Structure 1
């Protein structure tokens, strides 16, 4: 895997709950996109098993929509989740995004590693900002929940 970026966060919730935030449409639709975009729960479809597919639609502030899709390549609750992720309906990314979940002081250490694929340095920087915004929203969603 050509590593593009790695983000590590400690989330104040147990690994099972943080893993669920990635695999339950009602949670994923809240944090995916952060506060800047709307992801309707009904647009999120998740068949959380190896080779299962997922989709989500982002409604961005300029009025456009981004159609995300991919497939799960590893599902090991609550330790590891790997999935492909693409916003081009005509393509299928091969290298997965990998998220690991480990018990840590104060909750769960969540580590996301995303391949570089064909992203420019500027796109990688924007992706990093985006994920950090998403994870800020996830922290609020999971605060005080078990």
Structure 2
């Protein structure tokens, strides 16, 4: 059996231990029994953002965006396509910088959309500007995941 990874449930935020070699086997949450991976980005508030960032053992890709931003709205379906391909190896989150202004300020978000890739709670890469799904996936995979 492989080393267990900690995975935060997107539904109840319970922390689950999942063997690394079982990530592709559609694992479910031990508390709420929902799927740990949805193949879609998860919109989060500040508390959920912190939990996913600090407690997931897989990388976390965050789309900092706003509802009024045209390029953000154009990129949203592309980000969703990328989620369907990158999960379960990467957790994808969406942070509305208008609703969660503290997060935008704390992470120095100067333009949107901005993608930030985190591992172990620390930012390891950042990319500003709208991207297509293929570009998002290529950029994430190029960060030596």
- TM-score over 0.5 for the pair: no
Query: Under TM normalisation by the shorter chain, which class is it?
Result: under 0.3
Q: Which has the bigger relative contact order, CA under 8 A and spacing at least 6? A: 1
Give TM-score, length-normalised by structure 1.
0.27
Tell me which protein shows more strand as a share of its residues: 1
